[in-house]
Amino acid sequence: MTSHEQQTSLPRVGVVGATGAVGREIIDCLERRNFPLSGLRLFASGRSAGQHLPWRGGMIAIEALDDRSLAQVDIALCSAGSGVTKQYAPTAGAQTVIIDNSSAFRMDPDVPLVVTEVNAARIGAHKGIIANPNCVAIIASLALWPLNRENPIRRITAATYQSASGAGAAAMEELRASTAAHLAGQTHVPKVLPHPYAFNVFSHNTAVDPATGDNDEEAKVARELRRIMDLPSLAIGITCLRVPVLRAHTIVMSVGFEMPMRPEAVREILSGAPGVVVIDDRGRNHFPMPVEATGRDEVLAGRIRIDRSDPEGRTVSMIVAGDQLLKGAALNAVQIAELLPKAGVYPNRPVG
């Protein structure tokens, strides 16, 4: 095989929503992981077209996404919201695989919902779209899945400490700007998020179901965790809050198992789990923290101990923290793309 043939057998990759917080991380992941590709296209709304973003020492011009864009790439890493994916998915080529970061297709039975460390085998069943799960669901699943294989999980009670990044780059900037204003004794009126963010905590900014009281984020995490782990009857009670943190989510979880479970066993299992780093130093009071999860590919897990609200000793609590933009979004999407050839479903695009 000549080097020319090798080159042309590599996929053409497109990033849709290239200027967003996740889009930029996708580009960064492709570059630092040296993703094998024959060409990179960056797509965004017309507003951003003509701007440039750095790529492998040079610059790439951003193109306005249109009806021809997705047909011109083999892998489309989409992070532009449900509306954009729904609108443009039908314009993809027969060879295009869309890896979508929105919630548009996550519960579609024809669309695999994949966390690469948990259910990569499902990638092979795709019909042109693979869904990247909700960030909290991804981060939690990395710690839950290896435990479930040893001792089936029956019940999860969780509370989240979610960062600004999940609401996009503008929310991260609002956190910075409102905090600076607060420190300067100035008033700041929130525009991106519904509540003041400086030194505050608030219930997640998605809509609340008037009947159940659950918000959209909580509903997504619960149903996606069940689907990712193939545990349709898993009981999940979760409360999602935003805290003034820039880009890593922290989750406190009480995990109820079918059989009694020792914290030592949990620690041992997680110490060998892919994508997980255990940080559980009781003597130095060192446990998972969002500032230490930031910029890391791995999810941090620790403070593993008996949950004393369960007198039967079947429940273990822990803290998990993960970079929302990396494993919670961009990195998992790129990891899915990396597995496409291994899954035997790599598009054998005719050259030319």
Cβ proximity to a second copy: between 263 and 341 the closer is 263
Contacts of 107 (CB under 8 A, 6+ apart): 113, 223, 224, 227
Residue 12: CB atoms within 10 A of its CB come to: 19
Rg (the chain; Cα; Å):
21
Q: Which residue has the tokens 């085998």?
A: 121
Angle, CA 292 vertex, CA 200 and CA 281 arms, to 5°: 105
Q: For residues 11 and 33, give the distance between their C-alpha atoms in angstroms, rounded to a whole number.
A: 15
- Of 40-48, 49-57, 102-110, 209-217, the segment contacting a second copy by CB under 8 A is 209-217
Can residue 178 be called a binding residue for a second copy (CB under 8 A)? no
261 binds a second copy (CB under 8 A): no
d(CA 210, CA 220): 16
- Buried-exposed string 213-252: b where 16+ CB fall within 10 A, e elsewhere: ebbbbbbbbbbbbbbbbebeebebebebebbbbbbbbbbe
Binding of a second copy by 205 (CB under 8 A): yes
Selected from 283, 344, 350, 352, the binder of a second copy by CB under 8 A is: 283
Distance CA 346, CA 174 (A): 41
| Residue 181 binds to a second copy (criterion: CB under 8 A) | no
Instruction: Return the number of the residue (11 or 196) whose C-beta is nearest a second copy.
Output: 196
- Strand 248-257 with 202-203, pairing: unpaired
Choose the stretch contacting a second copy; rule: CB under 8 A; options: 26-34, 35-43, 241-249, 325-333: 241-249
> What is the footprint of a second copy within residues 216-235 (CB under 8 A)?
222, 235
> Which residue lies nearer to a second copy by CB, 71 or 252?
252
d(CA 15, CA 76): 6
Q: Which of residues 21-80 bind a second copy (CB under 8 A)?
A: none
146 binds a second copy (CB under 8 A): no
Cβ nearer to a second copy, comparing 33 with 155: 155
- Of positions 60, 78, 243, 278, contacts a second copy by CB under 8 A: 243
The span of 17-25, 30-38, 81-89, 151-159 binding a second copy (CB under 8 A) equals 151-159
| 135 part of the active site | yes
What is the spatial distance between Cα 132 and Cα 78, in angstroms, rounded to a whole number?
10
Report whether 277 contacts 139 (CB < 8 A). Answer: no
The token pair at 226 is: 């069940």
Candidates 64, 121, 180, 259: give the one binding a second copy (CB under 8 A).
180
Task: By CB under 8 A, name the binding residues for a second copy.
Answer: 155-157, 159, 161, 175-176, 179-180, 183, 194-196, 199-203, 205, 207-210, 212-215, 222, 235-239, 241, 243-246, 250, 252, 254, 256, 263, 282-283, 285, 287, 289-291, 303-311, 315, 317, 319, 321
**Active-site residue set:** 135, 249
